[in-house]
A and B are shown apart, each in its own frame.
Chain A
Amino acid sequence: MESIFALVLAKANYVVYIILMMVGLYAMIVKNNLIKKIIGMSIFQTAIILFYVSIGYKRGATIPILEHHASPETAVHGAEKIVAHAMDTVNVANYINPLPHVLMLTAIVVGVATLGVALALAIKVYNTYGTVEEDEINQQLRSG
């Protein structure tokens, strides 16, 4: 029992994000209101984004921008000055993994785009049926 607890605690971030994903999926599948379904979709996609970003974390590391201090001589960025900075050794363990951040920038944009198209379709459904509740729409479809 204790080992399971220790195991869950070591991977707590993944557990939390999976619970968040299931909350979003629940809203998408079970709720009747179309807008609530769209919000559930947004929660689901955001949970995946958080899941990915937490992969890149390294304990004790800082953001993935190489430390460089501007001084008056280096105010003009010529190639030779920047290459000189690169001569200092870069310790990989000091910077968190940049690749998940890059991938998730793309995923955020894709999520926003899907949200926009979903809202446009919801507006069209509302203009056609006068309601956004799915059971009322099904009733209209069955009788109309």
Chain B
Amino acid sequence: MKILGKLTILLCGVLLMVFTMEFPDWGDPESPASTHLSPYFIQHTMDDTAVPNIVTSVLADYRGYDTMFETTVILTAGLACFLLLRIERKKVTHRYYRHEPTGVTLRMAGDKFPKNSEVFQRMDANWVPYDFIISRTCRLIIPFIQIFALYVVAHGHHSPGGGFQGGVLMGASVILFAISHNLRAAIKSFSEKTAALFSVTGVFIYAGTGALCLIFGEVFLNYSALAPLFGSDRIMARSHGILMVEIGVAVAVTAVMIWIYYNLSSAGKQDEGL
């Protein structure tokens, strides 16, 4: 059976390479791919959308419908991981807390927390001593990562960037917090319900902008319909519309990255992660 698989792969590879010989050369500026459709994008992006970054204008305006479904794909992945993995947390009768300065361990019944929870750390079967240097260093770095993420989202029009890139950076900052400290600490500051609701909100901003254009009388996702809303002319309205949907994409991608991490790293139980 495996021999058949290996033969199939060999045949496939040989066929692919044989037909590759008919392609245009690498880097040829006269190939059909570079002369048929894309010169329109390169020449007309400033006239149509006032956005110099051609990739952003094609992504969010000319082919903005594709991007809406791409954001829906990532939301589907978040929903799928939640549906497949999430199980209820078991209620425990006692919890163990360790006082960090002295090393004394307390056992508390039920849901009571020690009052000064900054110096108490929860212990259970999955507890590993957390490194002081790593946790404090990450705490210093994370705000800068988040600022950079916001910069990448906001500058999608003029430099490489946009919603997806900035959203992943922002999500990575929260995941870094979860890895360096504690999954429970991360869930307390950015809970799963927040992640789920934000992810839905992000896609809703995108689809809602399109529906708003529909309500204003134009075609779905035609941002120039929003010109009276922004108070500018039709071309700048496209630029502002692109920014709006990029913000929606960033919010959705951030929340879904965090949601998938919570579900995958704790195998659905969400009590302790990697």
**Residues of chain A at the chain B interface (Cβ within 8 Å):** 7-8, 10-15, 18-19, 21-22, 25-26, 29-30, 54-59, 61, 63-66, 68, 79, 82-83, 85-86, 90, 92-93, 95, 97-102, 105-106, 109-110, 112-114, 116-117, 119-121, 123-124, 127
Contacts and interface: CB of A to CB of B under 8 A. Distances in A.
Interface string B12-28: 11001100110101111
Contacts of B236: 79
Contacts of B212: none
A30 B2 contact: yes
Given A79-B233, A99-B38, A112-B77, A22 B9 contact: yes
Which of A56, A97, A110 is packed against the most chain B CB atoms within 10 Å? A97
Contact of B13 (A22, A66, A68, A82): A22
Interface residues of B, number: 63
A11 B59 CA distance: 28
A97 B38 contact: yes
Contact of A109 (B6, B73, B233): B73
Given A14-B20, A95-B42, A99-B41, A64 B55 contact: yes
B5 interface: yes
A83 B50 contact: yes
B5 to A, nearest CB: 4
B contact face: mostly helix, strand, loop, or mixed:
helix
A127 B158 CA distance: 48
Identify whether the interface residues of A are mostly helix, strand, loop, or mixed: helix
Contacts, number: 168
Nearest to B266: A123
Given A29-B5, A106-B67, A13 B26 contact: yes
Given A102-B63, A123-B264, A124-B85, A66 B45 contact: yes
Nearest to B53: A65
A132 B2 CA distance: 18
B13 A65 contact: no
B58 interface: yes
A58 B20 contact: no
Nearest to B35: A92
B159 interface: yes
A111 B58 CA distance: 21
Nearest to A19: B13
B55 A29 contact: no
Nearest to A119: B264
Interface string B27-43: 11101011001110111
B25 A109 contact: no
